[in-house]
Amino acid sequence: MKRREFIKLSLITSSALFLPQWSYAKNFNINQIDFSNSIYNQNKAQTLIIFMYGGASQLAGNLTNIKEIKKASENSYDYFRGLTKTENNCWQEAGGTHMEELISNGDMTIFRTCFSQVREDNDNKAHGVCTAQNQKGSFAEDSAGIIANLAQILASNKIIDENTIMPFVTLDGESTFYTEGTTPLAGYLKPVGITENLDNPYKRDIRKWFYYSEAERALDPEHYSDDIDGFDPAIDAEMEKLAKKNNQNTEIKNAFAKRASMSSFIDNIANSTLPDLGDNEYPKHNDFAKKVETAIKVLVKNSDTKIVTLGTGGLGGWDDHNDARNYVERMENLFKTLKSAMAHIKAENREENINIIVFGEFGRNVNLNSANGWDHGNLQNLYILGGKGYFNHKGVVGETILDKTGQINRLFLKPKKGSYWFEPMSIASTIYKIYGIENPKILTGGYSPINIL
């Protein structure tokens, strides 16, 4: 996230502490929700959602049909300089080795048949619409985001309240996961925006340089450099004193106190050290890996945080209409990072409750076009990791067939007849279910959780 965007989001988030605000969730009757507190208390679920903006090809996790694909494709798949199938038909060069390790350890399930018949029938493969639908968990245009709905329900059932610390966190700025609807939702449920370096949105940093004379700065130019952000306790104390004097409103006073405690809380997470991950250290000099590391740190160190969301910035986008060769390296880095994340979670003894969900708006077709890329498709892989206290990992689920429409540039993978498959809305339904909502179909327009887990 760019600093400018981070500051903007942080100001929005911080303002929720100081002013009475409303946010909004989908207009549903909260009394219709069957919330099973016992399930939530049993799971104690925490989730990292990684959204692959641009629509990632499913081939990294599914080369089952590659022989037919290569024969029918417009361009040769030799373009990729390596297309080796692993034991479970993953793409070895594109993260497949890491996938196999995660599968063999019982840490991950690959669902190969997340397919939308609704979009197929309506010929809908547009980025914006599909992203919004998947992040709302509904085909309805006026729906709120998955996390906005979940926040309202958890608050209504007293799982979250004003004292809950950072229940929802984003390393990706604002997204449709948090889209507002029509029912009032308390401001404290808004997501807290942080960066991969855990820059503190609650800390009052004041440039000391501006408060000293030129002569004083000359005596110690390094200490008073305008390139150094510093926190001046004396000035901070004066600001606190003025705030208490001029603001008699109890809520505002409490907000100032909360800001101070939150600042310290985030600093403690930022300064915490990683456990020994052995050969599974996070990739170095990789912004995405750093984001995932930070996200796992937050989940491990703060049980109040329910969901963290991020995109795959730092790896690159997935809209591979042309020159798709970099897809291989991106997927390799993605799954190397996910393997590190699982090692991190295990080292902290949190594999029972922390889960990772990886998906996007859609997949891609499998014809390698004249520009050496893939166009939009309608079937994607869903990757679910961790959460072993409530997920029974299956390794690989779903079988696909190659669908030839008669046009050389229209080659698609579809679920094999009789194979298990689900609409993307079932991802939202699954998230709702692990957080204790027994009838999530009310929120998704009738789509059930992925009960095979």
Residue 392's region, left for phi above 0, alpha for psi from -120 to 50, else beta, is beta
Q: What is the pLDDT of residues 95-147, one digit of tens each?
A: 999 999 999 999 999 999 999 999 999 999 999 999 999 999 999 988 999 99
Instruction: Output the CA torsion sign for 316, 52, 330, 116.
Output: negative
Nearest to 450 by CA among 86, 109, 95: 109
User: Among 6-10, 56-60, 190-194, 444-448, which stretch is predicted with the lowest mean pLDDT?
Assistant: 6-10
C-alpha Rg value of the chain to the nearest Å? 24
What is the rounded CA–CA span in Å between residue 61 and residue 91?
6
Q: What is the pLDDT of residues 252-303, one digit of tens each?
A: 555 555 666 777 788 888 888 999 999 999 999 999 999 999 999 999 999 9
How many CB atoms are closer than 10 A to CB 274?
A: 15
DSSP of 176-228: GGG---SEEEEGGGSPEE--TT---TT---B-GGGGS-HHHHHHSTTTT-TTS
Whole-model pTM? 0.85
